[in-house]
Chains A and B, each alone.
Chain A
Amino acid sequence: MKTIKRLMLLYPVSWRHRYEDEFIAMLEQRSISLVDTFDIVFGAIDAHFQRIRPNKDTLKINNTIMIEEMDRGVNNQMEKFIPGEVREEASETIIAERRLSNWLDDAFSELQKNGGLDHIEGKGKPLDPQLGKDPLNGILQNAKVLPPWLELQHEIRDSIQQLLSVPPEQKNIDLPTEIARINQMIAKFNKMCPSTLLQKPLLSAANISEQYKRWL
């Protein structure tokens, strides 16, 4: 009996208020095995989850009640909040969040309708990676040091240039191997460069001269 009372403490207060009496009455009629004890503990965990995650049907009912209540004033609503309880998934919170997001959506579509988004600076123009505004770039420039990604960019440019200027049959260069080597550098460059706008596609035997222009 002492064990049962202790196990009951694991259950949420609202559950105990509703079921504890009959639950204990039921347990008094049978001997409780170890398996039963575990089952009761899991039941308690489940009851906590069930409490903070109301099912869809009750939410719907609560929804109308809550909205009526909220219209009477948010302060009334706040008084119902029990301190220390998890309210994140409570129906009131979900409804309040839904209403808030409705307001935001309304405000945004109104702005859009009234042309608030039509005169934004730079609209319709290509994006600028704004490298000059990166403080690190400024420091490196003053020190006359190339940032590593630019250094790599130059290295790639030179490699492609070399590939184009020297016919492979003259210099014993294995074209696929060389392209794979450059592509490895390009992949590294794409990870290093400070803006996705600067990323460049990989080389293939067919597009070398075309791609070279991108690296100038």
Chain B
Amino acid sequence: MSLTDLGRFSDPSILILASLAGGEKHGYAMMEDIEALSGVRLGPGTLYGALSRLEQRGLIEPVPSEDRRRPYRLTASGASVLHDHLLSLSKFTEVGLRRLALS
């Protein structure tokens, strides 16, 4: 499974997966974390658009909680999708940097 079929929501999805890789978080904490991590400020609608897709695909899951602010965590398949994605990004980064150094 890859994240590319999420279309416009693939970028927010990666950010969310990366944020949850650091531990379970509710929506607001994710927004703060993502902003600190990447400088991207996700809108509430975008965040939940991506959240619901990720949940539907079984990449994240809600954590039972008494709090109204429901926390989410990464599932095993979510972790593996994120891992593959970051690995391909790092290969891409490596090649790109090498090309820049050559030119």
Contact = CB atoms under 8 A, between A and B. Distances in A.
Interface of A: 15, 18-19, 21-27, 29-30, 32, 35-36, 38-44, 46-47, 50, 55, 57-58
Interface in B2-29: 5, 26-28
Interface string B16-60: 000000000011100100000000000111101101110011000
A26 B69 contact: yes
Contact of A46 (B45, B57, B69): B45
Contacts of B26: 22, 25-26
Interface of A: prevailing SS: helix
Given A21-B68, A47-B52, A58-B56, A29 B44 contact: no
B56 A43 contact: no
Interface of B: prevailing SS: helix
A42 B68 contact: no
Contact of A36 (B5, B44, B69, B70): B44
Contact of A22 (B45, B46, B53, B69): B69
A44 B45 contact: yes
Contacts of B52: 15, 18-19, 47, 50
